[in-house]
């Protein structure tokens, strides 16, 4: 889609300085701007680029005064950053909602229902007795098994797999290759050294406004539900085991893993590659550093943990700085031992 | 499916106390029981819930004596836990075997064969010259390339990819998004700094009763075979490189990685996020802790290893407890250095 | 395909000793050779196997002199290893290029184009306005969204997902289940503790001769491009976040993760399970050990880093050897403290 600068200025409640009939169809970084693109200048550090950019237009804030001649058009708004963000969101919203219709062949069992403004991509699969809301976008190769519920405005990306009995709220986004509701890892050791599979009959509940990253796995509960509460944001390649509960607005970065039956509080931030053992509770507002291992419950709200076995961040950094020179420390000890 | 309490009592060789014509269609946790569900009471700790549960029925053991009035029906059996487990298995077995037929469009090359009681989901793909046994369930979007063998009663879940020449035994379960037999990571460095791809012409052999988790990757061998021996259970997002051998009944938890040509013994337990370098051997019955790195062969059977570079668990815990207070240790050293 | 030993000898510029009319159709390891297979003997250590192997033929070097009677045929060439490698490559090349045609149902929007010698597997999906080169092989269940470019001779394996606007060069291989161009993990915290999604409008650029492993995820840029430069080789289950740049001929092993906006130099080697924080630069020719965490820019070319917080390898090993016996060190300190 293409817009004239005049149209955009109207949308952003700003005014054009330059040729308002020119058209843009793309959002560019100011340092990489090309004809047909529109950029923004908010941080002063980037000001030099506005005199060089090839972008057709740049959004600037009210107070901006050019110190050299400008080759680009400008749209002057109250706050350039907010203006650009508004544009970004309008763009994303437009792209998303424009996707409507059914591409054939798509498979949907006749016992399932889907609301208005649906998109179902080619090779998407919807099993029996599913209830799917309005404005839901089911991309190509998405798999939705039996008895699944999906709320309004949710997006299931290409190749995401939603297993039977899963419930997904409104405004959720399940990214490509994510697997929701596969069997939990439950095996009972037998006397002869073999393992017997424990049937996993629970499900997964994903509340509203949740995002699940690409190739992330969320296992179904052994019984009951694995629950991702509203507003939680989960990155790519995260593993969430059976019967885990993730609190509201908790953020988990890529490649972290949460073992079975652990309960994470709300508003926690868990950095990449963290590992959390099973059957513990993590208090609200906990921050867990990258690559950190947590083996015990965290009872106090607001702590920041770090390191191989999850300790207080400051203490970890002190210990680690000594660890880096342990050889020196040992030498000093040797010196003392030599003393008579 | 729905059963009357009378039918279930017969199946479990127990007897109903209450209304045996009532129907249940779901297995519930006792603390979350709802009408239409059946629960069990085995652990005394949960006894209070039997007086509150809304479940239609609860399975109890022979010796159970209610200390208050019961609102739920009960089915009294010899051992409530075993009874419930039997029910679970019957349920899982029923669900599994009930899945029969071919959903269109499904693709199978005419040179391939599949046995009785097949299920092939819509958009499943079976290439050339495959030999697939009886009671095999191929879910939607599963990909089975050329010359693949799959034994009786195995399940290939949605979106699992089985590359050419792979052999899978009987009673195996390959979960969603798992990739079996993709090329091993083999590149020969050239004089100019580039890398040349080394053709990977081996395959993967998965023996009987193996489970492979969601989004796990098992690479094919450079030559010969990557082998997962019978009874091994592999969790989600595990990486198993080319030419690795995993021993019988070895269990590997989520997000662990085994590098090329390493051989893991039988009856090992490898916790989550462990990393094992290539070209080593791990003895039978080895236990490897979460997040542990193993860089050398383990020759003695039955050891338990832990820590960044895989050391004896007890020794690691002692060292780590001192590491946590390294600052104190350094202070004590300083004090001594001050002495004349 | 089957070849006579005579045909292979001609291809390899060698000569047969034995029956040149015999046929082989498989490449075998010498220690696992079976009738119908051809092996090679290069390393003297393996010489004993040539007297036992059941392979139909073995490729040997000019200088080889049998010390016992041979039951197998031999093809004598200048250098057995190079000869076998040539055979491997011919085999791989043949297998690859033989795959031509379209299996139905396959989906391609009429606005997209693809060059000669295409393969499009059943259930493959190509969206709008894609430009796809010659000899490109799109395997079953591959997903290619709108406005994607793919260069000549590239292979998109089964179930790989290539999101909108992605550009892929020539001779690339994207393995099964890889997700290229899913949204970066960008969420702006709001005053009420919730997070607002930041639209991700950039793309991914993959240059020539790049390999991306199975179930690896490469996120699109927030704005601009996430770039994998020519010759880079990425293993399975690697996470590459938004706006990352990976330099030429850099190799990244399985389960490593690179956080947002980090720039990795050229000819780096990153071992398995390494984690690199966001917004830093790693110099050319850096080697990063397995499981290593890197939290600061590496400015000097050619360093080797290791350990929980990425330190010099030698120093790490010294520190770790003392860490393993920290208890002893503390005891020695106690002894000194006892002295009057």
Taken in order of first residue, the domains within chain B and their CATH numbers are 3-97 (3.40.1390.10), 101-159 (no CATH), 176-309 (2.160.10.10), 312-340 (no CATH)
Q: CA A108 to CA A131: how far, in whole Å?
A: 11
Nearest CB to A249: which of C159, C195, C336?
C195
pLDDT above 90: residue A312: no
Partners of residue C125 in chain A, C-beta under 8 Å = 121-123, 140-141, 158
pLDDT at B216: 98
- Identify any residues that bridge with A143 across adjacent strands, giving them in sequence order: A125, A161
Contact B199/C89, CB-based, under 8 Å?
A: yes
pLDDT above 90: residue B90: no
Q: CA B215 to CA B160: how far, in whole Å?
A: 8
Q: Output phi, psi for A210, to 5 deg.
A: -100, 145
Nearest CB to C257: which of A254, A308, A336?
A254
In a mutagenesis test of the B interface, which of A123, A308, A325 is the best target, namely the one with the most B β-carbons within 10 Å? A308
Q: CA A301 to CA B308: how far, in whole Å?
A: 28
Q: Give the CA count within 13 Å in the CB-facing half-sphere of A336.
A: 24
pLDDT at B1: 66
- Give the residue on C whose Cα is nearest the Cα of A332: C333
Partners of residue A139 in chain C, C-beta under 8 Å = 143
pLDDT above 90: residue C93: no
Confidence band for B97, pLDDT divided at 50, 70 and 90: confident
Nearest CB to A326: which of C194, C308, C323?
C323
Contact B327/A319, CB-based, under 8 Å?
A: yes
Structure confidence by residue, pLDDT tens digits, B32-89: 899 999 999 988 889 999 999 999 999 999 999 999 999 999 999 999 988 888 888 8
Chains near A (3 or more Cβ pairs under 8 Å): B, C
Judge contact between B117 and B97, C-beta under 8 A.
Answer: yes
Chains near C (3 or more Cβ pairs under 8 Å): A, B
- Give the residue on A whose Cα is nearest the Cα of C159: A159
pLDDT at B28: 87
pLDDT at B311: 84
Mean pLDDT along residues A108-122: 98
- Going by the DSSP 8-state scheme, the letter that residue B298 receives in this structure is B
Q: CA A280 to CA A286: how far, in whole Å?
A: 14
Judge contact between A202 and A181, C-beta under 8 A.
Answer: no
- Give the residue on A whose Cα is nearest the Cα of B105: A105
In a mutagenesis test of the C interface, which of B106, B110, B111, B125 is the best target, namely the one with the most C β-carbons within 10 Å? B125
Partners of residue B144 in chain C, C-beta under 8 Å = none
C-alpha distance from A85 to closest chain B C-alpha (Å): 35
The 10 Å Cβ neighbour count of residue A85 is 17
Partners of residue B182 in chain C, C-beta under 8 Å = 157, 175-176, 213-214, 236
Mapped onto helix, strand or coil, the DSSP state of residue C123 is coil
Partners of residue C143 in chain A, C-beta under 8 Å = 139-141, 158-159, 176
Nearest CB to B123: which of A123, A163, A185?
A123
Those residues whose C-beta lies under 8 Å from the C-beta of residue A108, and which sit 6 or more positions away, are A114, A120, A125, A126
Nearest CB to C182: which of A28, A214, A231?
A214
Nearest CB to B237: which of A141, A237, A319?
A237
Q: CA A24 to CA A75: how far, in whole Å?
A: 12
CA distances from A26 to A21, A33, A89 (A): 16, 10, 13
- Identify any residues that bridge with A282 across adjacent strands, giving them in sequence order: A264, A298
Q: Which of A139, A163, A175, A242 is flagged as catalytic?
A: A242
Segment (H or E) for B321:
helix B313-323
- The residue among A79, A90, A87, A78 whose CA lies nearest residue A28 is A87
Nearest CB to C239: which of A139, A254, A327?
A254
Q: CA B5 to CA A165: how far, in whole Å?
A: 24
pLDDT at A299: 97
pLDDT above 90: residue C198: no
Q: CA C251 to CA C229: how far, in whole Å?
A: 11
Token pair of C77 as six digits: 């060439």
Q: Where are the alpha helices (DSSP H) in B12-66?
A: 47-50
Q: Output phi, psi for C334, to 5 deg.
A: -60, -45
- Identify any residues that bridge with C161 across adjacent strands, giving them in sequence order: C143, C179
CB contacts < 8 A, B to C, total 159
pTM of the predicted structure, to 2 decimals: 0.92
pLDDT, averaged across chain B: 94
Those residues whose C-beta lies under 8 Å from the C-beta of residue B287, and which sit 6 or more positions away, are B268, B269, B270, B271, B303, B304, B305
Partners of residue A235 in chain B, C-beta under 8 Å = none
| E strands, A141-206, in order | 143-144, 149-150, 155-156, 161-162, 167-168, 173-174, 179-182, 187-189, 195-197, 203-206
pLDDT at B29: 87
Judge contact between A240 and A262, C-beta under 8 A.
Answer: no
Contact C176/B182, CB-based, under 8 Å?
A: yes
Range with the poorest average pLDDT among B228-237, B252-261, C316-325: C316-325
Contact C195/A231, CB-based, under 8 Å?
A: yes
Contact C307/B311, CB-based, under 8 Å?
A: no
Percent of chain A scoring above 90 in pLDDT: 80
Decide: residue C61, CB within 10 A, 0-12 exposed, 13-18 middle, 19+ buried: middle
CA distances from B182 to B145, B151, C27 (A): 11, 20, 18
Partners of residue B340 in chain A, C-beta under 8 Å = none
C-alpha distance from C335 to closest chain A C-alpha (Å): 9
In a mutagenesis test of the C interface, which of A85, A176, A265 is the best target, namely the one with the most C β-carbons within 10 Å? A176
Decide: residue A225, CB within 10 A, 0-12 exposed, 13-18 middle, 19+ buried: buried
C-alpha distance from B192 to closest chain A C-alpha (Å): 31
pLDDT above 80: residue C97: no
Range with the poorest average pLDDT among A40-44, C17-21, C54-58, C336-340: C336-340
In a mutagenesis test of the B interface, which of A111, A203, A217 is the best target, namely the one with the most B β-carbons within 10 Å? A217
- Cα torsion C208, C209, C210, C212: sign: positive
Token pair of B182 as six digits: 């993709």
Contact B28/A237, CB-based, under 8 Å?
A: no
Q: CA C18 to CA C63: how far, in whole Å?
A: 17
pLDDT, averaged across chain A: 94
Partners of residue A123 in chain B, C-beta under 8 Å = 123, 141
Partners of residue B143 in chain C, C-beta under 8 Å = 139-141, 158-159, 176
Q: CA C284 to CA C266: how far, in whole Å?
A: 5
- The residue among A292, A235, B288 whose CA lies nearest residue A282 is A292
In a mutagenesis test of the C interface, which of B183, B305, B322 is the best target, namely the one with the most C β-carbons within 10 Å? B183
pLDDT at C1: 65
Range with the poorest average pLDDT among A86-90, B126-130, B218-222: A86-90
Q: CA B278 to CA B294: how far, in whole Å?
A: 10
pLDDT at B44: 86
Confidence band for B242, pLDDT divided at 50, 70 and 90: very high
- Give the residue on C whose Cα is nearest the Cα of A339: C336
- Give the residue on A whose Cα is nearest the Cα of B238: A239
Judge contact between B73 and B53, C-beta under 8 A.
Answer: no
Mean pLDDT along residues C135-162: 98
| E strands, A2-81, in order | 3-4, 15-17, 23-24, 26-27, 37-40, 57-61, 73-77
Chains near B (3 or more Cβ pairs under 8 Å): A, C
Nearest CB to B199: which of C32, C92, C326?
C92
pLDDT, averaged across chain C: 94
Token pair of C237 as six digits: 């289950």
- Give the residue on C whose Cα is nearest the Cα of B177: C177
Those residues whose C-beta lies under 8 Å from the C-beta of residue B139, and which sit 6 or more positions away, are A143, B119, B121, B124, B155, B156, B157, B158, B159, B160, B176
Q: CA A208 to CA A210: how far, in whole Å?
A: 6
- Going by the DSSP 8-state scheme, the letter that residue A6 receives in this structure is H
Token pair of C338 as six digits: 């006892």
Known catalytic residue at A163: no
- Give the residue on C whose Cα is nearest the Cα of B221: C29
- The residue among C274, C280, C281 whose CA lies nearest residue C253 is C274
Confidence band for C309, pLDDT divided at 50, 70 and 90: confident
pLDDT at A258: 98
Contact C308/B309, CB-based, under 8 Å?
A: no
pLDDT at B147: 96
Nearest CB to A291: which of C293, C318, C333?
C293
Confidence band for A308, pLDDT divided at 50, 70 and 90: confident
Mean pLDDT along residues B214-223: 96
pLDDT at A1: 65
pLDDT at A52: 93
Q: CA C214 to CA C135: how far, in whole Å?
A: 21
List own/partner pairs for A104-110 with CB under 8 A and 24 or more apart: A105/B105, A105/C105, A107/B103, A107/B122, A107/B123, A107/B140, A109/A146
Q: CA C247 to CA A74: how far, in whole Å?
A: 35
Confidence band for A259, pLDDT divided at 50, 70 and 90: very high
Q: Where are the alpha helices (DSSP H) in chain A?
A: 5-11, 47-50, 80-97, 313-323, 326-338
Q: CA C217 to CA A72: how far, in whole Å?
A: 37
- The residue among B263, B251, B244, B273 whose CA lies nearest residue B184 is B244
**Pairing relationship of beta strands B137-138 and B155-156 according to DSSP bridges:** parallel
pLDDT above 80: residue C66: yes
- Cα torsion B1, B7, B12, B15: sign: positive
Helix A326-338 and helix B326-338: axis angle, to 10°? 30
Contact A185/B233, CB-based, under 8 Å?
A: yes
Is the N-terminal amide bond of B105 cis, ω within 30° of 0? yes
Those residues whose C-beta lies under 8 Å from the C-beta of residue B91, and which sit 6 or more positions away, are A199, A201, B27
Partners of residue B194 in chain C, C-beta under 8 Å = 209, 231, 249
Mean pLDDT along residues A94-98: 79
Judge contact between B290 and B253, C-beta under 8 A.
Answer: yes
Q: Which of C157, C163, C175, C242 is flagged as catalytic?
A: C242
What is the DSSP secondary-structure string of A121-139? Answer: -TT-EE-TT-EE-TT-EE-
pLDDT at C302: 96
Structure confidence by residue, pLDDT tens digits, B127-157: 999 999 999 999 999 999 999 999 999 999 9
């Amino acid at each position: 889609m293409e817009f004239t600068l005049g149209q955009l200025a109207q949308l952003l409640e700003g005014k054009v300085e330059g040729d308002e009939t020119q058209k843009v169809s793309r959002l560019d970084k100011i340092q990489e701007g090309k004809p047909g693109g529109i950029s923004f200048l908010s941080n002063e550090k980037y000001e030099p680029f506005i005199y060089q950019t090839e972008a057709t237009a740049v959004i600037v804030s009210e107070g901006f005064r050019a110190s050299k001649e400008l080759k680009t058009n400008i749209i002057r708004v109250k706050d350039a950053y907010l203006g650009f963000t508004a544009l970004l969101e309008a763009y994303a919203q437009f792209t998303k909602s424009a996707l409507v219709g059914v591409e054939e062949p798509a498979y949907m069992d006749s016992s399932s229902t889907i609301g208005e403004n649906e998109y179902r991509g080619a090779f998407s699969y919807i099993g029996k007795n599913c209830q799917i809301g309005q404005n839901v976008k089911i991309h190509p190769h998405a798999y939705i098994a039996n008895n699944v519920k999906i709320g309004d405005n949710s997006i299931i990306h290409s190749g995401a797999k939603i297993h039977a009995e899963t419930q997904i709220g409104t405004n959720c986004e399940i990214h490509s290759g994510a697997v929701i509701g596969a069997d939990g890892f439950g095996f009972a050791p037998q006397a002869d050294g073999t393992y017997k599979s424990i049937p996993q009959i629970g499900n997964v509940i994903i509340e509203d406004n949740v995002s699940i990253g690409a190739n992330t796995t969320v296992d179904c509960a052994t019984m009951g539900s694995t629950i991702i509460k509203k507003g939680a944001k989960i990155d790519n390649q995260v593993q969430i085991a059976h019967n885990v509960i993730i609190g509201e607005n908790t953020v988990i970065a890529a490649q972290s893993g949460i073992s079975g039956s652990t309960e994470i509080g709300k508003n926690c931030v868990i950095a990449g590659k963290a590992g959390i053992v099973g059957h513990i509770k993590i208090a609200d507002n906990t921050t867990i550093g990258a690559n950190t291992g947590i083996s015990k419950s965290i009872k106090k709200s607001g702590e920041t943990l770090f390191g191989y076995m999850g300790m207080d961040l400051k203490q970890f950094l002190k210990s680690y700085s000594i660890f880096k020179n342990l050889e020196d420390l040992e030498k000093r000890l040797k010196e003392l031992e030599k003393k008579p």
